[in-house]
Amino acid sequence: AVRQVVMSISGMTCAACAARIEKAVGRMEGVQDVSVNLALNSASLRLQPHQITTEQIEHKIGQLGYSAQVRN
């Protein structure tokens, strides 16, 4: 099964910020696809729920110096 998730991200100020997040999150086990939209302050992800949690992704983005939370 695949879970489609949208996250709100704060703290991005340039295109390289979005690229950093895409690269780091895209390397995580269980992330099938990630696309970060700088203008919308959001990320769209496809996850394998048995391999990764949204909390792990939020934590990773936090380590990079941004803040992320799942958008409901």
64 touches ligand 9UX by CB under 6 A: no
Q: Which of 6, 16, 40, 70 binds ligand 9UX (CB under 6 A)?
A: 16
Q: In whole angstroms, how close is the CB of 60 to ligand 9UX at the nearest point? A: 16
Decide: is 2 part of the binding site for ligand 9UX (CB under 6 A): no
Cα separation of 33 and 31, whole Å?
Answer: 6
18-37 footprint of ligand 9UX as x/- string (CB under 6 A): --------------------
CB within 8 Å of 40: residues ≥ 6 apart: none
On the 0-12 / 13-18 / 19+ scale of CB atoms within 10 A, 39 is exposed
CB 38 within 8 A of CB 18: yes
Report the interface residues with ligand 9UX, using CB under 6 A: 13-14, 16-17
